[in-house]
Amino acid sequence: MANRTALQTFGRSGNPMFRRNAFQPDATFDETDSTQRMTLAGAVNKTGILLVLCLVSAGYVWNRFFQSSEPAAVNGLMMLGLLADS
């Protein structure tokens, strides 16, 4: 997305991502921050890892729900999920 396209799409903004030189390859956002920028591959990898963790935990709870004779067997896991979500 070019700088002009972003400004036309989103309008003027106080967001530092949309300043004039933000879309140039050598743009820096914080000169005091010495960490590396996140790459597209890193974002895809992290998204995949979180998706797998979400599916595994949901699969475990659903399997336990359908295998038990008492649906209340997953109440503790449900409360843990509710607390972790907040």
Q: 17-39, pLDDT tens digit by residue?
A: 666 666 666 655 555 555 667 78
% of the chain surpassing 90 pLDDT:
15
Tell me the HSE value of 19 on the side-chain side, using a 13 A CA sphere: 10
On whether the CB atoms of residues 71 and 64 are closer than 8 A, the answer is no
On whether the CB atoms of residues 72 and 56 are closer than 8 A, the answer is no
pTM of the model: 0.51
- Judged by DSSP in three states, 59 sits in helix
Rg value, the chain, Cα: 22
44 pLDDT tier (thresholds 50, 70, 90): very high
* Other beta carbons less than 10 A from residue 74's beta carbon: 19
76 pLDDT tier (thresholds 50, 70, 90): confident
| Residue whose structure tokens are 């530092």 | 16
Q: Is the pLDDT of residue 15 over 70?
A: no
